[in-house]
């Protein structure tokens, strides 16, 4: 069994099963209820709060597993409709590959434009999907065929499109209107649209001039309540013959305002640092932080290398400040030797756009707590 082999129960970066997934009961019920009643859902929350996890958790529940074909596609890296069609087609194919039914066998029969990618393995005789992006010549046709295929399924389909806000930046015009029309025509295919760029997502779904206006039920995702997370963490330690001080879990939770990914990362490391029969206490926290930052260092350097020099300056200044207010004031500029108020302003724009920096009221902070620590203390 998959779950028995999990050595560290604080799973990060993927979904395993109910046992390793904390709470989200109300959210799960809500989401399932919407879909079952024929309403598409727009799931909008800050980064790393648990949107993808929640979708996968819902997919894993009996109500979805048994009665729907579920598909998950992450379009974060896409920049065109062709890529969208490519990834959607691939996600559907990969999901259905192990299932041999009359419907799944019709994949290339209905999605004719992807037939170029249909290959039979010369050794095993197994079919495979070997198309490249360049093979998507007419993305609209491919999409039409994909939707036609989904609608011809033997049970309803549920498609989750992660980082959906991305469609707003596609090179083609009218993508929103086009997708909206296709989605509206579906009779037995439902959609979950999720995204972390909150203003872009809200703009897509809540602004009356946009095609997707009111076409989905919006739902947000708050941090998991602290008591519930603490109980969860204690259980995971105890099940493996270890212990953890509740006050430590609470401290970790508070350090990250309950944002799931960060909390799970530290708890994962704390668990690793704790021997069998040992009780993990606050003395391990510093080491855990350092270790986590060490594992991320490569990607931080990579990230920095892609920023303009002025953006780096401003990013580090904000990291050192923590909650940075008055970033264009002469005091702030002097304190961090920044060139000028206008250069701070122009550097901030892309930092906010990419989500490296977030803004709450007049305060800015580096969104990734570990990255902020590394920038402020080690870089």
Residues contributing to the site for ligand ATP (CB under 6 A): 11-13, 21-24, 45, 47-53, 196, 224, 260-261, 264
User: Considering beta carbons, is residue 24 or 284 the nearer one to ligand ATP?
Assistant: 24
- If contact means CB under 5 to 8 A according to the sort of partner, which of ligand ATP, Mg ion, none does residue 48 touch? ligand ATP
Would you state the torsion angle of the CA atoms of residues 276, 280, 285, 290, taken in this order, to the nearest 10 degrees? 0
Residue 270 binds which entry of Mg ion, ligand ATP, none, CB below 5-8 Å type-dependent: none
22 binds, among Mg ion, ligand ATP, none (CB under 5 to 8 A by kind): ligand ATP
Q: Could you tell me the smallest distance in angstroms from the CB atom of residue 260 to ligand ATP?
A: 4
What is the closest distance, in whole angstroms, from the C-beta atom of residue 165 to ligand ATP in the complex? 11
Report the residue from 40, 52, 70, 165 that binds Mg ion according to the rule CB under 5 A: 52
Nearer of residues 147 and 253 to ligand ATP, judged by Cβ:
253
Question: Smaller CB distance to Mg ion: residue 196 or 311?
Answer: 196
- Report yes or no: 75 and 167 within 8 Å, Cβ to Cβ: yes
CB of 77 to Mg ion, least distance (A): 13
Closer of 75 and 375 to ligand ATP (Cβ): 75
Q: From the CB of 51, what's the least distance to Mg ion, in Å? A: 5
- Residue 165 touching Mg ion (CB under 5 A): no
- Strand, helix or coil for residue 140: helix
Instruction: Find residue 359's DSSP bridge partners.
Output: 364
Helix (H, G, I), strand (E, B) or coil at 158: strand
What distances in angstroms separate CA 104 from CA 89, 108, 110, 159, one per listed residue?
Answer: 13, 9, 10, 16
Tokens 């303009």 sit at which residue? 308
CB-wise, 320 or 365, nearer to ligand ATP? Answer: 365
Q: Count of CB atoms within 10 A of residue 34's CB?
A: 17
The kind and range of the H/E element at 217 are strand 217-220
Min dist. Cβ of residue 160 to Mg ion (A):
10
DSSP string across 240-270: TT-EE-HHHHHHHHHHTTT-HHHHHHHHHHH
By C-beta, is 45 or 104 nearer to ligand ATP?
45
Residues shown for the chain: 379
β-strands 127-129, 363-366 pairing: unpaired
Among 22, 85, 83, smallest CA distance to 50 is for 22
Q: Provide the binding-site residues for Mg ion, judged by CB under 5 A.
A: 51-52
């Amino acid at each position: 069994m998959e779950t028995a082999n999990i050595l560290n129960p604080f799973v990060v970066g993927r979904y395993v099963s109910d046992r390793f997934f904390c709470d989200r009961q109300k959210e799960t019920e809500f989401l399932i209820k919407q879909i079952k009643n024929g309403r598409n859902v727009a799931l909008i929350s800050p980064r790393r709060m648990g949107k993808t996890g929640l979708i996968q958790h819902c997919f894993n529940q009996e109500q979805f597993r048994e009665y729907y074909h579920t598909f998950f596609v992450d379009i974060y890296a896409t920049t065109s409709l062709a890529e969208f069609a490519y990834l959607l087609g691939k996600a559907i194919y990969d999901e259905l590959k192990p299932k041999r039914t009359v419907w799944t066998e019709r994949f290339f029969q209905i999605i004719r434009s992807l037939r170029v990618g249909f290959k039979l393995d010369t050794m095993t005789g197994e079919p495979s999907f070997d198309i490249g992006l360049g093979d998507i010549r007419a993305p609209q046709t491919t999409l039409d065929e994909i939707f036609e295929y989904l609608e011809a399924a033997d049970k309803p389909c549920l498609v989750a499109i992660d980082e959906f806000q991305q469609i707003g930046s596609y090179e083609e015009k009218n993508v929103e209107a086009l997708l909206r029309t296709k989605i509206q025509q579906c009779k037995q295919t439902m959609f979950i649209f999720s995204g972390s760029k909150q203003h872009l997502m809200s703009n897509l779904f809540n602004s009356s001039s946009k095609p997707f206006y009111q076409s989905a039920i919006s739902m947000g995702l708050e941090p998991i309540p602290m008591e519930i997370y603490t109980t969860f963490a204690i259980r995971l330690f105890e099940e493996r013959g270890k212990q953890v001080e509740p006050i430590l879990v609470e401290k970790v939770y508070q350090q990250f305002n309950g944002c799931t990914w960060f909390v799970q990362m530290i708890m994962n490391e704390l668990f690793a640092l704790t021997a069998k029969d040992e009780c993990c206490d606050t003395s391990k926290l510093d080491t855990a932080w350092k270790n986590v930052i060490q594992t991320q260092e490569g990607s931080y350097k990579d990230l920095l290398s892609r920023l303009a020099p002025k953006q780096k300056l401003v990013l580090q200044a904000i990291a050192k400040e923590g909650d940075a207010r008055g970033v264009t004031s002469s005091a702030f500029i002097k304190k961090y030797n920044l060139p000028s108020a206008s250069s701070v302003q122009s550097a901030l724009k892309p930092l906010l756009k990419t989500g490296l920096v977030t803004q709450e009221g007049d305060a800015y902070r580096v969104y990734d707590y570990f990255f902020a620590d590394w920038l402020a203390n080690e870089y």
